[in-house]
Structure 1
Amino acid sequence: MRDSRLGTPHTIELPSGRVSYHERGTGPPIVFVHGYLVNANIWRKVVPLLSDHFRCLTPDWPLGSHLTPVNRDADLSPPGIARMIADFIEALQLRDVILFGNDSGGAYSQLAAANHPERIGSLVLASCETPDCTWPPTPGGFPLLKRTAVHPLTYRALYQVLRAPTAWRWRNTYGWLAKYPIDRLTMRSYVDPVLNSSAIRYDGRKAISSVDERFTRSAATSLTTTFGKPIHLIWASADRVFPLAGARRYADSLGASLRTVGDSYTYLTEDQPELTAALLTEAVNR
């Protein structure tokens, strides 16, 4: 269920529960934060391109496509996930971490950097929520994910369409996130947990039901005024969910660099892994 290119599998016990992760490479640590309804496999193409120079750590965060549920009482609100990211970094005694977030993983990364900056050396945001965005983002119809999470039955019913591979390319599933079709084995790793496990659905429902743009806008204020560490933006120039214009405004307010990736949608490491790896390396080595 996890690509061998991610490296060696591990598990770690955090206050919120057990988290699985993979590790590959040596050098400055990069902690990757994926978005909702994907897992560490979203990094399978980019890790081999970075692992000669970086220590790549790719956790499965409890966002609906993970395999091991966290504690039943775990806080999976945006501040709770940010705390989990900080706990992961602390448990491994990492320092000067490059925190790389994509899609809603970028939103959680902003909160982690704003609220728990002690061990974070730089923040890299790749096609994700900005202060201009709602959370979930409005383009593509993603607010439906939050609305149906109010009850276990509506939440479960919503995802039944993912049993049919033809639905994977709809705009409100993965079609506006990956420009090109994702291979079937990877897609099964994304959709099977939420389809087949009530415990995983419980985690995913807790996470998506609590997202709100007030969290990212508050984090953006802190990052602008008090973070004081390098921030870099890498963005799909044709992103249909997180418009480039919002990224430009956000980069200006942060005093951050902005690099663009063509021929890609939100999942930059899926559509253009080589260019994304090169831009990430260039950004953090400036």
Structure 2
Amino acid sequence: MPAIELTSGVIDYTDTDADAGTGPARETVVLVHGLAFDESVWQSVVDDLRTDFRVVVPVLPLGSHRRPMRPGADLSAHDIAALLAEFLDRLDLRAVTLVQNDSGTAQLLVGDHDNRIGRLVLTSCEALDNYPPGIQGRTLHAANRIPGGLFLLLQSFRSPFLAGMQSSLGGMAKRPIPYELVRRWYGPLLSDPGSAATSPRSCAAPARTPTCAPPSGCGPSTGPPSSPGARRTA
């Protein structure tokens, strides 16, 4: 998997045209995962699109990243958005179709860092007053207010039964999520202190109102197992 060094640290990414050489340029789709996910959440969509589009998926520092960010890196919601904008700049991606599910970070580029965005697609993500959404969001919000609560909540993902409950990940997808994906997504938070220490720290509330994403732009996903964006860290 290729990687690129950005201001906050090194991030991994996948690019279906990484080995395309000097072939004809194709329209680019950038898929953005949400909190405590990685590029694998989009794999079925990448497989469907790769024949007709260049598909790029960055692994953002949202909890399931495998490379710790630099000490002191600001990983608030707006700084994650700025990191995404820097990623588009460094790869010189132009007029991209930017697709976001779960945490809705891509909304924050509109009006500030949108010069490389041709289209913005928001699917099954947080927007406006839908924050934090659902029982999962309320549970996480409550856990953040109790000392050690977030640690105990994360331990539940060690159990396939607990992770699959409707009040947990099982209630966030139309189809059962394979437990090997749960282990992949939450492994860094459970076993890698470096990744856990450089997960988002300022996502309990938006820094300011999103500049787009009306309710009609947040319909149900028909792609891979996705979350409505419940997992936020204080």
Q: Is TM-score (shorter-chain normalized) higher than 0.5?
A: yes
Describe the SS at the equivalent of 2:110: helix
- The CA deviation string for residues 137-164 of structure 1, in whole angstroms up to 9 with x for no partner, is 2x12313334544688443222011110
**Alignment partner of 1:191 is 2:159:** no
Q: How many residues align?
A: 219
- Normalising by structure 2, what TM-score? 0.84
Q: Does structure 2 retain, via aligned residues, the 8 Å contact 1:102–1:128?
A: yes
**Alignment partner of 1:179 is 2:178:** no
Correspondent of 1:158 among 153, 160, 167: 153
Q: Does structure 1 retain, via aligned residues, the 8 Å contact 2:77–2:206?
A: no
**Alignment partner of 1:210 is 2:203:** yes
**Alignment partner of 1:269 is 2:223:** yes
Query: Residue 19 of structure 1 aligns with which residue?
Result: 11
Query: Residue 140 of structure 2 aligns with which residue?
Result: 145
Which residues of structure 1 form unaligned runs of 5+? 1-8, 224-245, 252-257, 273-286
Q: Which has the higher contact order (CA 8 A, sep 6+)?
A: 2
**Alignment partner of 1:201 is 2:209:** no
Q: Does structure 2 retain, via aligned residues, the 8 Å contact 1:38–1:63?
A: yes
- The CA deviation string for residues 92-134 of structure 1, in whole angstroms up to 9 with x for no partner, is 0111111100011xx2010023320111111011111122312
Q: Does structure 2 retain, via aligned residues, the 8 Å contact 1:37–1:64?
A: yes
Q: Does structure 1 retain, via aligned residues, the 8 Å contact 2:75–2:200?
A: no
Correspondent of 2:215 among 230, 240, 247: 247
Q: Does structure 2 retain, via aligned residues, the 8 Å contact 1:14–1:84?
A: yes
Query: Residue 109 of structure 2 aligns with which residue?
Result: 112
**Alignment partner of 1:129 is 2:83:** no
Return the alpha-carbon distance in structure 2 between the equivalents of residues 82 and 162 of structure 1: 27
Q: Does structure 2 retain, via aligned residues, the 8 Å contact 1:140–1:171?
A: no
Which residues of structure 2 form unaligned runs of 5+? 18-24, 227-234
Return the alpha-carbon distance in structure 2 between the equivalents of residues 146 and 79 of structure 1: 20
Describe the SS at the equivalent of 2:139: helix
Displacement of 1:32 in angstroms is 1.2
Displacement of 1:271 in angstroms is 4.8
| RMSD (CA atoms) | 2.4
Distance 1:150 1:69, change over 3 A: farther
Identity across the alignment (%)? 32
Displacement of 1:193 in angstroms is 1.1
Q: Does structure 2 retain, via aligned residues, the 8 Å contact 1:149–1:205?
A: no
Distance 1:42 1:120, change over 3 A: same
Return the alpha-carbon distance in structure 1 between the equivalents of residues 122 and 45 of structure 2: 15
Query: Residue 71 of structure 1 aligns with which residue?
Result: 70
Displacement of 1:203 in angstroms is 2.3
1:144 aligned partner, one-letter code: T
Displacement of 1:186 in angstroms is 1.8
Q: Name segments (4+ residues, structure 1) moved above 6 Å.
A: none
Displacement of 1:170 in angstroms is 2.3
Distance 1:150 1:63, change over 3 A: farther
Describe the SS at the equivalent of 2:98: strand
Return the alpha-carbon distance in structure 2 between the equivalents of residues 85 and 149 of structure 1: 26
Displacement of 1:34 in angstroms is 0.7
Q: Does structure 2 retain, via aligned residues, the 8 Å contact 1:142–1:172?
A: no
Return the alpha-carbon distance in structure 2 between the equivalents of residues 181 and 124 of structure 1: 24
1:113 aligned partner, one-letter code: V
Q: Does structure 1 retain, via aligned residues, the 8 Å contact 2:64–2:188?
A: yes
- The CA deviation string for residues 15-63 of structure 1, in whole angstroms up to 9 with x for no partner, is 0100001111462111111111111000111101101111111111111
